Amino acid sequence: MTRIMKEFTPTQIVKELDNFIIGQTDAKRAVAIALRNRWRRQQVTNELREEIMPNNIILIGPTGVGKTEIARRLAKLAEAPFIKVEASKFTEVGYVGRDVESMIRDLTDYAVNMVKAERTEEVKNKADEMAEDKILDILIPPVKNTVANSKQAGEQQPNHENEAYQNQKTREWMKSKLKRGELNDKMIEFDAQASPAIGMQILGPLGMDDMGINLQDMLGSIMPKKNKKRKTSISDARQIIANEEAQKLIDMEAVQKEAILRVEQSGIIFIDEIDKVAGSGKSQGPDVSREGVQRDLLPIVEGSNVNTKYGVVHTDHILFIAAGAFHVAKPSDLIPELQGRFPIRVELKSLTEEDFIKILTTPQNALLKQYAALLETEGVNLQFTKDGIRAIAKIATEVNDQVENIGARRLHTILTTLLDETLFDVPDKMPAAKVVVNGKMVEDKLNKIVKNRDLSKFIL
């Protein structure tokens, strides 16, 4: 049974995203609908299903307001193959640089690894047992029971029966020791598969990306597999051997098939910085290639076949989420065909002081929680008072207004400056203690810098 994706309803998706991202309700709703629509499409049984196209989305908003974060969290939720690419990294076919099709190949690689990891998990118990048996064989090689043979020959060899029996007993005893992990630190020598040593990285000619094959892998499979003696602790050996056994147990062809299916049916590609390839079209130079990138993107977004080393991937139903600040260029500066492929536009809002307060405190990975956890490892109890948090948020808003609006990233720079001394002095000058960050401390530390515009340009 192929599991395409987890079945979150739109409300549940938004709720999950709420755990990490403050505000930006419109964007959350849009991605939730897009994700659910893919599941809905899976349930449509007739020919109509092939006709239902994904709702590609453009997220528009200033820097640091959560565009990438939303996409990242969404992919985790969907348990779907997901990659994030920067549109500005691509160049038109024929230019030096990565061609756009490589994103599909990357996504497929990702999916193959994902499925392989799942399959490995499934055969883990079996592989572990096999590894245990192998190690046991090395520690106490089994004695062949030759009793039957000797009886046939009419000779009397009572020793053998005994020996085989003893061997069996010792092996059982050893096995239980192994199982209990009592031998973990003992060293053992065993045959491990040596990865074929090609000895150098093989760099293809430029544009090798196009071929969708990997010389290194090809040569690797041609070279004879050599075994190499290795000596490690038993617990390490166990893992190495179990890994090898697992590889043998997995049907790689099935894995690749499943991976391609997942890419085609549930893959998500996040194209960041899409505005960077939206040239005005008039000026010379790099713009020529910018529009070229957009043209190259068209067939992929619309649906085409891309060769990968695992097989052909149809891109029709891959969900594309593009994002950009669109400070200079506007979505309307994208070539019209491409605009049409991204029918849903969502604007993300600039973050306010209230948002910052929430961002600092509420998400599961909130910054203040992160710093508290870091210092707790040194026995220091870091606490922020309400007015302390408000002061930080206020300063972040001020600096964003005055210098440059970098959104929530401003909180990072402010906190590192604010906590600089504490982070340095612990543990030498400041052994286990309690540090309380209140409004006064924040102002004492930061006001000078905030008031001085030039200074804050550099420090905050």
Binding site for Mg ion (CB under 5 A): 67-68
| N-terminal to C-terminal alpha carbon distance within the chain | 52
Q: Using CA of residue 182, residue 187, residue 192, residue 194, what is the dihedral sign?
A: positive
Is residue 409 a contact residue for ligand ATP (CB under 6 A)? Answer: yes
Residue 303 contact among Mg ion, ligand ATP, none, beta carbon within 5 to 8 Å by kind: none
Packing angle of the helix pair 25-43, 252-266 (nearest 10 deg) = 120
Angle 259-260-262 from CA coordinates, rounded to 5°: 65
CB 369 to ligand ATP: min, Å: 12
Among 8-16, 156-164, 236-244, 403-411, the segment contacting ligand ATP (CB under 6 A): 403-411
- Cβ contact 372:361 at 8 Å: no
Is residue 22 a contact residue for ligand ATP (CB under 6 A)? Answer: yes
Angle 179-182-185 from CA coordinates, rounded to 5°: 115
- Of 77 and 359, which CB lies nearer to ligand ATP in the complex structure? 359
Is residue 64 a contact residue for ligand ATP (CB under 6 A)? Answer: yes
CB 335 to ligand ATP: min, Å: 21
- Of 42 and 362, which CB lies nearer to ligand ATP in the complex structure? 362
Backbone φ and ψ of 278, nearest 5°: -90, 85
Is residue 23 a contact residue for ligand ATP (CB under 6 A)? Answer: yes
Bridge partners of 437? Answer: 384
- Of 197 and 328, which CB lies nearer to ligand ATP in the complex structure? 328
CB 64 to ligand ATP: min, Å: 5
Q: How many C-beta atoms surround the C-beta of residue 11 within 10 A?
A: 11
Q: Using CA of residue 331, residue 335, residue 340, residue 341, what is the dihedral sign?
A: negative
30 to each of 60, 79, 187, 326, 347, how far by Cα in Å? Answer: 12, 18, 56, 19, 10
Among 13, 65, 77, 241, binds ligand ATP (CB under 6 A): 65
CB 24 to ligand ATP: min, Å: 5
Find the binding residues for ligand ATP in span 320-379 (CB under 6 A). 325, 359, 363
Q: Using CA of residue 72, residue 74, residue 79, residue 83, what is the dihedral sign?
A: negative
* CB closest to Mg ion, residue no: 68
Among 50-58, 92-100, 128-136, 401-409, the segment contacting ligand ATP (CB under 6 A): 401-409
Residue 21 contact among Mg ion, ligand ATP, none, beta carbon within 5 to 8 Å by kind: ligand ATP
Residue 23 contact among Mg ion, ligand ATP, none, beta carbon within 5 to 8 Å by kind: ligand ATP
- Of 230 and 409, which CB lies nearer to ligand ATP in the complex structure? 409
- Of 167 and 361, which CB lies nearer to ligand ATP in the complex structure? 361
Residue with tokens 């996504």: 107
Among 5, 28, 36, 69, binds ligand ATP (CB under 6 A): 69
For the CA atoms of 382, 387, 392, 396, what is the dihedral angle to 10 degrees?
160
CB 342 to Mg ion: min, Å: 17
Residue 64 contact among Mg ion, ligand ATP, none, beta carbon within 5 to 8 Å by kind: ligand ATP
Residue 359 contact among ligand ATP, Mg ion, none, beta carbon within 5 to 8 Å by kind: ligand ATP
- Cβ contact 338:297 at 8 Å: yes
Residue type, 436: V
Interatomic CA distance for residues 355 and 357, integer angstroms? 5
Instruction: Look up residue 2 and give its DSSP letter.
Output: -
User: Tokens standing for 42?
Assistant: 């899976």
Find the binding residues for ligand ATP in span 260-279 (CB under 6 A). 272
For the CA atoms of 176, 177, 179, 181, what is the dihedral angle to 10 degrees?
170
32 to each of 256, 314, 351, how far by Cα in Å? Answer: 28, 24, 21
Among 36, 67, 119, 445, binds ligand ATP (CB under 6 A): 67
Find the binding residues for ligand ATP in span 89-128 (CB under 6 A). none
- Of 84 and 124, which CB lies nearer to Mg ion in the complex structure? 84
CB 362 to ligand ATP: min, Å: 9
User: Tokens standing for 148?
Assistant: 């039957």
Binding footprint of ligand ATP on the chain (CB under 6 A): 21-24, 63-69, 272, 325, 359, 363, 407-409
